[in-house]
Structure 1
Amino acid sequence: MLGILSAGIAPGLALLSYFYLKDQYESEPFSMVFKTFIFGALLVFPIMFVQYVFDAENILQSNLISAYLSSSLLEEFFKWFILLSVIYPHVTFDEPYDGIVYGASVSLGFATVENIFYLFTLGIEHAIGRALLPVSSHALFGVIMGYYIGKGKFSATSNKKWIIISLFAPFFLHGTYDYILITMENWLYFMVPFMIFLWWLGLKKAKQARVLSAHYNGKITSINETFHQ
């Protein structure tokens, strides 16, 4: 049991630590990051219940609808809702890169609890595969969501556009990920290039967020220096 818990938790904490430590300016309060992680973890239970009802009642019989609605939209919407309602207005969300940290945190909270459940069901021998695919993909969906939420909060214009994209970009990517798993017979041949693309995109957005934070902090410094002259 301890081995399964460790294997289930370790990938999420490792990925969260990576994106957290990439914050080049004021690091986010650990308590707020942990709170966001817990919110994501708690989302597993109502979402799994709704998905169970969908399956039991055969509400979503199409693979396409199942991939994009039952899994992707349901999960990404609630993660997006947590970020928008709890994190977006919070005082600690004070630079664009913070969206990356909180986006990864809420997603990895969800992915970690889901991962533990799957490992208890399937066995610890699946730990590496789940770390490389479901856990890391959730982290990257969260990074992309957080990037656009951060861009929306700190952009002078088009705020609503970026907020909308912050939901639909991870929704589309997550749905595509699930559709490959559900429908492709030789899914690994499609999943490997998709995951390479997803890592490239996620790291690119994290880098862009750091650049935005640098510009934002530079402007704040300039304003403070002007004010104190």
Structure 2
Amino acid sequence: MLFLNSVVFLVAAALLPPLLLLGVVYRMDKLDREPAGLLMSLFFRGVLAMVPILVLELMADQFIDFFPWRPMVYLFLAYFVVPGFIEEGVKYRVLIRRTWQEPNFNFRFDAVVYAVFVSLGFAAVENILYVLTNGFSTAVVRAIFSIPGHAMFGVVMGAGVGRAKWLEAHGQYQQAEAARKNAWLLAAVLHGLYDFLLVAFGWVFYPYFAGLVLYVWNFLRKSAREDGPVAL
């Protein structure tokens, strides 16, 4: 019984930070709130994204470990390329496949909400696994750094996808495709840089983290304030 209570406590501690951030972003969607069923499906698709991400990252790690890289090159590949491009790539694919033709996707800020729900679904299950393995102190550290990171990458990706949807609705198909690719690429670069700096250059990571939080928070508020329909 004591063990069960401990597990329940750790899972609740792991879930609390992503759920709080989801509530913040959801409440910022003032013009046309999204259906609960759609948002729950996106959250659980983010949870399920853990499976292909783990498989792809294990394969990539095996490939990287096979070669005698210089230490800094190894760190760059293992902590910039692998987590940034694989994790954001899978989350991007989940986001596009589920929402691009979604009838409720009728405002630009909708994509931000969708992307954050996918990102924090993945972050939630990742956090649960870390916490069950390493204990409560891990939940505190990840609540401060890792989970807000996933939320911020989701905001950036979602804003790009929202712009792409607007461009497509206005007949600018090539620009829309470029905006979609850039949405994934920017999120991947920010994520890769986030992990790489944390591991290799901790003294640079903290100002980077603080600057990213300020930028994304202001960008998020501006996106919510200037929200509008994707088609007129």
TM-score normalised over the length of structure 2: 0.86
Decide which of 3, 13, 17 is 2:19's aligned counterpart. Answer: 13
* Residues 147, 205 of structure 1: 8 Å contact kept: no
Deviations 1:77-131 (A, max 9, x none): 0111111111111111110010110010000000000000011111112211101
Residue segments in structure 1 that go unaligned for 5+ positions in a row: 221-229
* Residues 96, 212 of structure 1: 8 Å contact kept: no
Which residue number corresponds to residue 177 of structure 1? 194
Deviations 1:138-191 (A, max 9, x none): 01100110001001101334212211210111111001011112212xx1x322
- The separation in 2 between residues aligned to 1:151 and 1:73, in whole angstroms, is 21
User: Which stretch has the larger CA shift, 47-56 or 190-199?
Assistant: 47-56
Task: Give the match's secondary structure for 2:33.
Answer: coil
Decide which of 133, 137, 145 is 1:133's aligned counterpart. Answer: 145
Task: Give the match's secondary structure for 1:90.
Answer: coil
Offset of residue 59 of structure 1: 4.5
Decide which of 200, 207, 213 is 1:199's aligned counterpart. Answer: 213
Which residue number corresponds to residue 227 of structure 2? 213
Task: Give the match's secondary structure for 1:213.
Answer: coil
* Residues 107, 142 of structure 1: 8 Å contact kept: yes
- The separation in 2 between residues aligned to 1:166 and 1:73, in whole angstroms, is 12
Tell me, yes or no, if structure 1 residue 86 matches structure 2 residue 98: yes
Give the 5 Å matches for 1:55-94. Answer: 55-56=61-62, 58-59=65-66, 62-94=74-106
Residue segments in structure 2 that go unaligned for 5+ positions in a row: 1-6
User: What's the RMSD between the two structures over aligned residues?
Assistant: 1.8
TM-score normalised over the length of structure 1: 0.87
Query: Identity across aligned pairs (percent)?
Result: 26
CA 88–204 in structure 1, closer or farther in 2 if over 3 Å, else same: farther
How many residue pairs align between the two structures? 215
Tell me, yes or no, if structure 1 residue 23 matches structure 2 residue 29: yes
**Counterpart residue identity of residue 174, structure 1:** H
Offset of residue 26 of structure 1: 1.3
Task: Give the match's secondary structure for 2:145.
Answer: helix
* Residues 61, 78 of structure 2: 8 Å contact kept: no
Task: Give the match's secondary structure for 2:148.
Answer: helix
- The separation in 1 between residues aligned to 2:123 and 2:158, in whole angstroms, is 16
**Runs of 4+ residues over 6 Å off in structure 1:** none
